A and B are shown apart, each in its own frame.
Chain A
């Protein structure tokens, strides 16, 4: 069973600053990793798949990197609408799929 660990649990960032979120897999997931954003009371939204490919309509300030067991989601300049919880999810261990525990990005 793959375990996905996200850090930090909470990230306090000022608007306009950079946010860097980490996701670590307990074993290699190759590049089979997605990132989602979830705002309170809303469904998750796909941001990144294939570790680094932005989904349709996702602003360029969101970028993903990494492969194997270490992944990063970077938000280059935080906007007010970016304060949310972010989840990584591996899809290498098919058919089972595993999410990380989430990182909450809050206003500093």
Chain B
């Protein structure tokens, strides 16, 4: 069974940093592109970032470019999102999601982890 389990959420002050993790199991993690998608409270889904199978290629939404870094550890089946210079509008539930087949849509999602940026 495919499972994606995010962790690392919490409360962070504006300007602070946080790293989210997503532990993957039930599939060959190193064969799949992975994404982060976020959802502000009561709002819709917003794509954040993508990483290819071996971690050599990454892409970001304009709203997070230069502040967030996506990475992966294929040996430990874990996806990461390092977030710096955090702002109040980064407050959201962050989901990791598996790319179905190098196409850009998502067949499995984690349960999400919430973090709040507030002083």
Contacts and interface: CB of A to CB of B under 8 A. Distances in A.
* A complexed with B: yes
25 contacts: A32-B104, A38-B45, A42-B111, A43-B111, A44-B95, A44-B106, A44-B109, A46-B105, A46-B106, A49-B105, A55-B107, A56-B107, A87-B45, A91-B103, A91-B104, A95-B50, A96-B47, A96-B59, A97-B47, A97-B50, A98-B47, A99-B47, A100-B44, A101-B44, A102-B44
B45 A45 contact: no
Interface residues of A, number: 24
**At the interface, is chain A mostly helix, strand, loop or mixed?**
loop
Given A46-B106, A55-B107, 12 more contacts: A32-B104, A36-B106, A38-B45, A42-B111, A43-B110, A43-B111, A43-B112, A44-B109, A49-B100, A91-B105, A99-B45, A99-B46
Which 5 pairs, one residue from A and one from B, show the smallest C-beta to C-beta distance?
A: A91-B104, A43-B109, A34-B105, A95-B59, A97-B47
Interface in B5-64: 35, 44-47, 50, 59, 61
Contacts of B50: 95, 97
B105 A99 contact: no
Counting chain B residues whose Cβ lies within 8 A of the other chain, the interface size class is: 10 to 19
Interface of A: 32, 34, 36, 38, 42-46, 49, 55-56, 87, 89, 91, 94-102
